[in-house]
Chains A and B, each alone.
Chain A
Amino acid sequence: GAVVSQHPSRVICKSGTSVKIECRSLDFQATTMFWYRQFPKQSLMLMATSNEGSKATYEQGVEKDKFLINHASLTLSTLTVTSAHPEDSSFYICSARDLLSWDEQFFGPGTRLTVL
């Protein structure tokens, strides 16, 4: 089956620093990737939709200048949390949609971000 990887799986950083999270589709091409945030014991909230070669579409209430998304190729999207603060600590999950399979999204294993 389709595999999506995320790196790193866990990161701890100091307040004020920036953190980059990578999302890769390993065995398929993904024109669209999605970034979600999940707080403890809560559901996934969509942050933004990342389209290869174009600007990301952000959900209402998500600061585009704080959460920078780059989707430079059909297999890689990156999320950079800029000037991270403790309230940004969360579980960040990406998903990718196969170019050939419109309905199904394949999820990465997630990245646990802790901002001290």
Chain B
Amino acid sequence: SQQGEEDPQALSIQEGENATMNCSYKTSINNLQWYRQNSGRGLVHLILIRSNEREKHSGRLRVTLDTSKKSSSLLITASRAADTASYFCATVRAAGNKLTFGGGTRVLVKP
């Protein structure tokens, strides 16, 4: 079953704008990860944030985690057409080793 819910389900922005997507989950987690998937392809790992971390950066990506609200956000700054993809959050439970994926956000960056 899916642990996470993501919103929005789809996002369309202009190149150069920022894209923000959110992920909510239900149970206590060990860590939360964000992945990107281009159409019909495999997943690319973007960033991992642990339950004791609140914010993490990687290049143009910024991830926040609020364990009290069981939610995370992914911000892509200065978006590019190449950022067009589906983005998924995935959680690893506190006592587990499996990834449970959210529904995903489809991002379209228009040139």
Known: A34-B98, A43-B2, A49-B98. A110 touches B40 (CB 8 A): yes
CB-CB < 8 A to B92: which residues of A?
Answer: 103
User: Are B98 and A107 in contact, CB atoms less than 8 angstroms apart?
Assistant: no
A-B residue pair count with CB separations less than 8 angstroms: 52
List CB contacts (< 8 Å) of A79-116 with chain B: 91, 93, 95, 97, 102-110, 112
Does A46 lie at the interface of the complex (its beta carbon under 8 Å from any beta carbon of B)? yes
A78–B48 alpha-carbon span in the complex (Å): 28
Does A77 lie at the interface of the complex (its beta carbon under 8 Å from any beta carbon of B)? no
Binding site secondary structure of chain B: strand
User: Are B104 and A109 in contact, CB atoms less than 8 angstroms apart?
Assistant: no
Number of chain B residues whose Cβ lies closer than 8 Å to a Cβ of chain A: 22
* Chain B residue with the shortest CB-CB distance to A40: B40
A98–B44 alpha-carbon span in the complex (Å): 15
Interface size class of A (residues with CB under 8 A): 20 to 34
Does B97 lie at the interface of the complex (its beta carbon under 8 Å from any beta carbon of A)? yes
CB-CB < 8 A to A105: which residues of B?
Answer: 45, 99
Does A32 lie at the interface of the complex (its beta carbon under 8 Å from any beta carbon of B)? yes
User: Are B42 and A32 in contact, CB atoms less than 8 angstroms apart?
Assistant: no
State which of B2, B31, B35, B42 has its C-beta within 8 Å of the C-beta of A110. B42
A110–B43 alpha-carbon span in the complex (Å): 9
Chain A: minimal CB distance from B88 (Å): 6
CB-CB < 8 A to A110: which residues of B?
Answer: 40-42
A43–B44 alpha-carbon span in the complex (Å): 14
CB-CB < 8 A to B97: which residues of A?
Answer: 32, 49, 97, 102
CB-CB < 8 A to A103: which residues of B?
Answer: 31, 48, 92
User: Are B42 and A107 in contact, CB atoms less than 8 angstroms apart?
Assistant: yes
State which of B40, B41, B48, B103 has its C-beta within 8 Å of the C-beta of A43. B103
Q: List 13 A-B contacts (CB under 8 A).
A: A32-B97, A34-B98, A42-B103, A43-B88, A43-B102, A43-B104, A44-B88, A49-B98, A95-B43, A95-B99, A97-B97, A107-B45, A110-B41
Closest 6 CB pairs of A and B: A109-B42, A107-B43, A107-B42, A43-B101, A44-B101, A110-B42
A-binding residues in B (CB < 8 A)? 2, 31, 33, 35, 40-45, 48, 88, 92, 97-104, 106
